[in-house]
Structure 1
Amino acid sequence: MQQLDPASLAVKIAENSVHLLDVREPFEHAADNLGGQLIPLGELGKRWAEIPLDKPIVVYCKKGIRSIIAIQKLQDRLPQVTWLNLAGGIEAWKKSLP
C-alpha cells in the first residue's frame, strides 16, 4: 500500500488523476471533507461495488488509521486497483496546506 502526503494529493486532485474515498462517518464528513465518495468503514463490506475503478483511489479518514484498514479490506476484493492512503489523514491535510 502506498502512502501519499498531502502536498502530493493536492497535485493529484488538481490533475483529476485520482478518486477520493472518505471512510469516516457521515457526521465527520459533513464537518470537513476533501470531496469524493463517502463510504464509512463499517459499510465497506456491503458497498464496495459502488467504488469507481477507472483511476487510482486515495482513501482517507481522520488520522490515516481507518483508511489503512479499509485498503486492507478492499485490496482483497479489488486487487486490480491502485490504492493510496492519505498519510496522517485529513488532520495532516489541514495542517500542511493553507
Structure 2
Amino acid sequence: MTALWSEPALQLIDVRDGHDHLTLLLGGINIPLRELPQRLAETVAGVETVVYCKSGVRSLKALHAISAAVGEGRCRSLTGGIDAYVAAGCLERLRCAEVGQ
C-alpha cells in the first residue's frame, strides 16, 4: 500500500537573499534568485510550486526560469510577494526567523 502523502502537496521557494529571508518567512526553502540556475536540481519537478519574494518581481523571474527548466503549469509566483500578503492582513501567519536558522 502506498502512503497518501509520499511527496509534498505544495513546495514553497523563497527567492530572496539570505538577509531578507531572515525577516519574515512563509516557509519552504530559500534559493536566492541569483543561485537558482545552479540549484534547480533542488526543486522537485512535478510538484506544485509557489515562489515568493518581497514584492513579486524576483519571484516572477524565478517562475520563468523554473518553467523553462521543468515545464509550465506546476509553478506559480506569489503576486505582490510578502508585501501583498502582509497588506491582506495575513501577518500573523508569517514566521519570524531566529538568527542562526
Same fold per superposition (TM over 0.5): yes
TM bracket, shorter-chain basis: 0.7 to 0.9
Cα RMSD (Å) of the superposition?
Answer: 1.6
Whichever structure has more helix as a proportion of its residues is: 1
- Using structure 1 for the length normalisation, give the TM-score: 0.77
Q: Percent identity?
A: 36
Relative to the length of structure 2, the TM-score reads 0.75
Residues 80, 68 of structure 1: CA spacing in aligned structure 2 closer, same or farther, 3 A cutoff?
A: closer
Stretches of structure 2 lacking an aligned partner (at least 5 in a row): 1-7, 91-101
For residues 47 and 81 of structure 1, do their structure 2 counterparts lie closer, same or farther at Cα, with a shift above 3 Å needed?
farther
Q: Secondary structure at the match of 2:16?
A: coil
**CA separation in 2, counterparts of 1:54 and 1:45?**
18
The structure number with the bigger radius of gyration is 2
Alpha-carbon separation, structure 2, partners of 1:48 and 1:54? 13
The match for 2:9 is 17
**Residue 70 of structure 1 corresponds to which residue in structure 2?**
62
Tell me how many residue pairs correspond in the alignment.
83
Q: Measure how far apart 1:52 and its partner are.
A: 2.1
Taking the TM superposition and a 5 Å limit, the aligned residue runs for 1:55-66 are 55-66=47-58
1:1-98 to 2 correspondence within 5 Å?
17-79=9-71, 82-98=74-90
Unaligned regions of 5+ residues in structure 1, if any? 1-15
